[in-house]
Amino acid sequence: MTSARITGTGTAFPPTALAQGRLPELLPAGHPNADVLHRIVESSGIRRRRLVVDPDTEDVSSWGTRARMRRFQQEALPLAHDALADALAAAGTEPGEVGLLCVVSSTGYQSPGVDSRLIRELGMSPATQRMFVGHMGCYAALPGLAACVDFARCHPSPAALLNVELSSLHLQPPPWDTEQLVINTLFGDGAVAMVVQGADRPGRGPAVVDVASYTDVEHEDHMTWEVGDTGFPMGLSPKIPDLIAARLPEVVRALLGPHDLTAAEVGWWAVHPGGAKIIEAAEESLALAPEATAASRAVLAEYGNCSSAGLPIVLAELQRTNPLPPGEPGVAMTFGPGLTLYTALLRGG
């Protein structure tokens, strides 16, 4: 089977940057969980997050879902445009060459939406095939990437993957319990794009070799992402890191085994920046050295958890600071509702 490579990446973030340390002062006066929020902030591993909603000037917590979806379209398109334009430029690919545009989002839907409007905004061919992957949550980056890889392996034209997530549009109405405070402090907004091309096309970048996943249906209620009257409410159990740690080594073995590899032979790891405890769970369950997750921690600190855009941002950061050496294996992983674990084997090229 011919391989496909990630030959270009691009990122874009909204201008509002909220320092994590300011969160307690944004609570309503006299909130009973103020001390709890202080502890959550201190252990979050996040310095700041980029948001399309500036909490100093706007409160969307009482908005209905329709208003939030309209705002998504307004805010997402310019971010998507910039991320994809940069990725195409990095890959040396003209917009009109793209054969498939795959847009991934769990925070905004409308038709016509970002995917079709990018055709016009970037001057892509009206014959470009489009796919929208929605509501999978954080793990959606890898199913979206797998679809682009399959396309690029079978067609002469490249595929483009765009992840755009605006979680700040889904702030739920108070009062907030501890679970909701964790959610309120965790997620950031951003867009990231990748160009995926067949190995016979010019350009360099890591090849996507294989994908493996595991759905822990027994614990599906520990992470949820629902459509509600006031946006999309989330459920997030504190048991998630332990559940991931229990299953992750098995999934990684299933990914690497068919390629005669073990985790000890992999020196390049892209871990979804789902939270400080999520990164720790991956690190400890796979016996990874702290430097193996340095890029994931750096992305978490700077941007928070950007849902499905989180892992691609880590991949972009790694390729910028520590590119996967030619021929060497690397592993990417992400986690989300289901409870779902997704992994991908990459090889430098």
* Structural contact between residues 349 and 214, judged by C-beta atoms closer than 8 angstroms: no
Q: Does residue 338 come out as left (phi exceeding 0), alpha (psi in the -120 to 50 range) or beta?
A: left
Distance from C-alpha of 81 to C-alpha of 12, rounded to nearest angstrom:
9
- Interaxial angle between packed helices 178-186 and 34-43, expressed in degrees from 0 to 180 and rounded to the nearest 10: 40
- The answer to whether residue 138 is catalytic is yes
- At 268, which amino acid appears? W
Token digits for 341?
């674990």
What is the distance in angstroms between the CA of the first residue and the CA of the last residue of the chain? Answer: 16
Distance from C-alpha of 222 to C-alpha of 212, rounded to nearest angstrom:
21
Distance from C-alpha of 188 to C-alpha of 260, rounded to nearest angstrom:
38
**Which run of H or of E encompasses 131?**
strand 129-134
The total of other beta-carbon atoms located within 10 Å of residue 126's CB is 8
Distance from C-alpha of 131 to C-alpha of 112, rounded to nearest angstrom:
12
Token digits for 137?
């949550």
Residue (of 243, 242, 223) closest to 233 by Cα position = 223
Distance from C-alpha of 333 to C-alpha of 245, rounded to nearest angstrom:
12
* Structural contact between residues 334 and 299, judged by C-beta atoms closer than 8 angstroms: no
Distance from C-alpha of 301 to C-alpha of 323, rounded to nearest angstrom:
21
**Which run of H or of E encompasses 150?**
helix 141-154
Q: What is the largest CA-CA distance in the chain?
A: 63
132 bridge partner residues: 103
Which of 138, 148, 154, 306 is flagged as catalytic?
138
- Interaxial angle between packed helices 240-256 and 276-285, expressed in degrees from 0 to 180 and rounded to the nearest 10: 40
Q: Which active-site residues does the annotation give?
A: 138
